A and B are shown apart, each in its own frame.
Chain A
Amino acid sequence: MAAPVAPYPRPVTPTERPNIPSAAVRLPAVKTYEQIDDEIAGTLRPTLGWFALLAMAMLCMLAGAATWTYQIHEGLGAAGYQPPVMWGVYIITFVFWIGIGHAGTLISAILYLFRAGFRTSIYRCAEIMTVFAVMTAGLFPVLHLGRPWKFFYLIPYPNWRLIWPNPKSPLVWDVFAILTYLTISSTFLYIGLIPDIAVLRDREKNPLRKAIYSTLSLGWRNSDREWRHFARAYLFLAALSTPLVLSVHSVVSFDFAMALTPGWHTTIFPPYFVAGAIFSGLGMVFTIVIPIRKFFGLQHYVTLNDLDAAAKMCLFTSTVVGLAYLTEFQVAWMSGNQFEQEYFWNRVFGQWAWAAWIMLICNVVLPLSLWSQSLRRNPLWLWILSLFINLGMWFERFVIIVPSLSHEFEPWQWGTYRPTWVDFGILLGSFGWFFMWFLLLIKQLPVMAISEIKEVIPPRLKQPYDMEHDLAEGIPMPDETGAQH
């Protein structure tokens, strides 16, 4: 005979344990499965504000596309490249967007493996953000090419040229890492969406939309067979994605660390880049999730406890990034290498001091405010801080790339860098491109994982669980997995 049913423990009110997220108090204002369906599916109705934002994003995207067309016509000289700085805004922005793309898989995969409950209500947004951020990042190496239509030369395939890319080059590693990351993160997003699309399919009245949802949901029926294989596949995808997240930004850091340039040739780069990527990704998660939470009326799904927990992660990664900055200085100081020392001095007190101090203030000083619990639980402050983090992390990549290239070994090589309107036009276009896709998707598919949110609220029971009675009778308590002890 099968084991007896172990109902969930009696829900307690949030006031009993205000700052400790647990299964029992995770979403106290969410009572039934139907409420979840109604409220989350209700966010799919377009609003005037959404149309306005979409129009703005498309305008920015079109401005970027027009600028790129101009650059293709004029050549790469239209951007601000001048020897010795031949990597500029495009590569900075490439690393920036790749970094943004890290938080999604961190939140959906790594926190899933660690069973961190606060991920449940924010991971869908973070995954959508990841896919479009990596898609945006993937444009930049192409934008950076003099002949962008030859981008496929980096892909190893049998060809009439009888030439192959060099597999010892970090640029080829990048191609493999980013394409793998884009494929796996898109797959991860889609797999998680299948049960939710089935919910939309079953609620939809419009025949066209119903047909689209039916196709996308692949005929999902919520059967025990489907859930059993789904759960296992999701776990393995999470397990494969976890080292993938760490590898992708490590590979991006090799683009720099494999070179002999002062400031780049250092073994700290992979962990430093990964921590920075997660930090910047969390910043962008706040930038996106907090307005969604407010304007979609989902405050009772993304609770202050969830924001608090995410803010703690943000604080932690900020301190790791800060430690990495200090370690770089210490290594330069202790190395006895004059070129390294010169470079780092120049970074903070020389030509590029303004950029380095923007980076330090935004990424290390301002996030210290998150030691305060009241600020961690203040959505407005978190949103403002997230804008500073985005700015700071863009400048971090600026500080890594431009000062190193402009201040290499010999004084006669030293130079400067001035981005042109073309660089900024394409930077603006990348934000337009990213937000256009993001805004389009959030009105077609749920921004929160309906089936996972249902998993964390107590199910409807015929015989409500009487904890006091069971304790008096000596009946064992179920834990969060349902096992009785």
Chain B
Amino acid sequence: MQGVLGAFRELDSAVHAIEELRQQRFGDITVFTPTPRHEFDHVLAHPPSKVRIFTLIFGLAGVTFGFWIPVWISDYWPLVVGGKPIASWVPFTILGFEVMVLIGGLATVFAMFGLSRIPRLTTTVGYDARFSGGDFGIWVRTSPERAENVIKVLTKHGAAEVRREA
């Protein structure tokens, strides 16, 4: 994986650098930031995360399973009490709800892992330890021919350090 990595001390410099890189049609840009910043969301203009789809699907699967467990148990081991229904849905709502939250919640987390591509075995290429501290990073994946342009843009906007990575 070839590209250029720039480290910025200031937020606005990093944002202006990304704006110019996008104007020059560099598409594969990764931003590293110690904390989520809306400025980067605006400038990168990514579509919304798809995590919610997993939450919905697995939440619905969870509530179905949560109702199915007590209905199946009641049918298998009926407790006949004064003509009351064997599978009474009202108390089973509690189990349905709890299992919905359990499966929906865990699916949300695993979807986040999958979409974020973690767990990751290495952080070395295109990353620097200072990006979890106080600096902002811009990693541009590009061919060696266009790398000079990226270096120029990052330097022009005040990057504290720019380096090629391969």
B-binding residues in A (CB < 8 A): 1-3, 5-7, 32-34, 37, 156, 163-168, 172-173, 176-177, 179-180, 183-184, 187, 191, 195, 198-199, 201-203, 218-233, 236-237, 240-241, 243-244, 247, 251, 451-452, 454-455, 459-463, 481-482
Known: A229-B112, A240-B59, A455-B35. 5 other contacts (CB 8 A): A176-B94, A191-B109, A222-B32, A237-B105, A459-B10
Residue contact A241 to B91, C-beta cutoff 8 Å: no
Closest to B117 in A: A225
Query: Within the complex, which residue of B9, B33, B34, B51 is in contact with A224, where a contact is CB–CB below 8 Å?
Result: B33
Please state if B19 and A156 are interface contacts (CB–CB under 8 Å).
Answer: no
- Give me 6 A-to-B residue pairs in the complex whose CB atoms sit less than 8 angstroms apart, sorted by A's number: A33-B134, A184-B102, A187-B105, A224-B30, A224-B33, A232-B51
Q: Which residues of chain B come closer than 8 Å to A225, judged between CB atoms? A: 30, 46, 115-117
| Complex: A229 Cα to B54 Cα, angstroms | 12
Instruction: Give the CA-CA distance A459 to B13 in the complex, in Å.
Output: 12
Query: Considering the complex of A and B, which 10 residue pairs feature the smallest CB-CB distances, nearest first?
Result: A219-B120, A167-B70, A233-B112, A33-B134, A202-B129, A454-B35, A232-B49, A218-B119, A2-B43, A482-B38
Q: Across the interface, which residues of B come within 8 angstroms of A172, CB to CB? A: 95
Complexed CA–CA distance, A5 and B52 (Å): 28
In the complex the two chains form, is A461's CB within 8 Å of B10's CB?
Answer: yes
CB distance from A483 to the nearest CB of B (A): 8
**Docked complex Cα distance between A230 and B117 (Å):** 11
- Residue B74, interface by CB 8 Å: yes
* Complex alpha-carbon distance, A3 and B22, angstroms: 13
Instruction: State the Cβ distance, B116 to closest chain A Cβ, in Å.
Output: 4
Contacting residues of chain B (68-122) with chain A, CB-CB under 8 angstroms? 69-70, 73-74, 76-77, 79, 88, 91-92, 94-95, 97-99, 101-102, 104-106, 108-109, 111-113, 115-122
How distant is the Cα of A338 from the Cα of B103 in the complex, in angstroms? 46
Which residues of chain A come closer than 8 Å to B123, judged between CB atoms? 219-221
Task: Name the CB-closest residue of A to B19.
Answer: A2
CB-CB under 8 A for A222 and B33, given A156-B73, A180-B101, A243-B97? yes
Q: CA separation between A226 and B126, bound complex, in Å? A: 14
Q: Could you say which of B51, B77, B121, B158 contacts A229, with CB atoms under 8 Å apart? A: B51
- Contacts A164-B76, A221-B32, A224-B33 given; does A233 touch B109 at CB 8 Å: yes
Question: In whole angstroms, what is the CA distance A462 to B39 when docked?
Answer: 14
- Contact assessment for B34 and A222 in the assembled complex, using a CB-CB cutoff below 8 Å: yes
A167-B70, A167-B74 are known contacts. Are A33 and B34 too (CB-CB below 8 A)?
Answer: yes
Mask of B35-60 contacts with A, CB within 8 angstroms, 1/0: 11111111111101101100100010
Closest to B73 in A: A164
Q: Given the known A-B contacts A167-B74, A173-B94, A461-B12, are A223 and B32 also in contact in the complex, defined by CB atoms under 8 Å?
A: yes
Q: Which of B1-28 contact A (CB under 8 A)?
A: 9-13, 15-16, 18-19, 22-23
Number of residue pairs across A and B with beta carbons under 8 Å? 210
Contact check, A2 vs B51: say whether CB atoms are below 8 A apart.
Answer: no
A227 and B34 alpha carbons, distance in the complex (Å): 10
A221–B129 CA distance with the chains assembled, in angstroms: 9
Query: Which residues of chain A are near B121, meaning CB under 8 Å?
Result: 219
Output the least CB separation between B64 and chain A (Å): 15
Measured CB to CB, the closest approach of chain B to A482, in angstroms, equals 4
- Is A230 in contact with B112, judged by CB distance below 8 angstroms? yes
- Assess whether B12 is in contact with A462, with CB atoms less than 8 Å apart: yes
In the complex, which residues of chain A have a beta carbon less than 8 angstroms from the beta carbon of B23? 1
Tell me if A3 and B43 are in contact (CB < 8 A). Answer: yes
A243: chain B residues at CB < 8 Å are 97, 101
Most chain B C-beta atoms within 10 Å of own C-beta, residue among A223, A232, A247? A223
Please judge, given known A-B contacts A34-B133, A168-B91, A177-B94, whether A237 and B108 are in contact too, CB under 8 Å: yes
- Quote the shortest CB–CB distance from B147 to chain A (angstroms): 20
| B108 contacts A233, C-beta separation under 8 Å | yes
**A218 to B36 Cα, complex, angstroms:** 18
Kindly list chain B residues whose C-beta atoms are within 8 Å of the C-beta of A3: 42-43
> What residues of chain B lie closer than 8 Å to A223, measured between beta carbons?
30-32, 116
Q: Do A240 and B104 touch across chains, with their CB atoms under 8 A apart?
A: yes
Q: Which residues of A contact B118 (CB under 8 A)?
A: 218-220, 226
| Minimum Cβ distance to chain B for residue A225 (Å) | 6
Q: Which residue of B lies closest to A32 (CB)?
A: B134
CB-CB < 8 A to B143: which residues of A? none
Contact B131 A222 (CB under 8 A): yes
Which residues from chain B contact A229 at a C-beta distance below 8 Å?
49, 51, 111-112, 115-116
A220 closest partner in B (C-beta): B118
Q: Are B19 and A1 in contact (CB under 8 A)?
A: yes
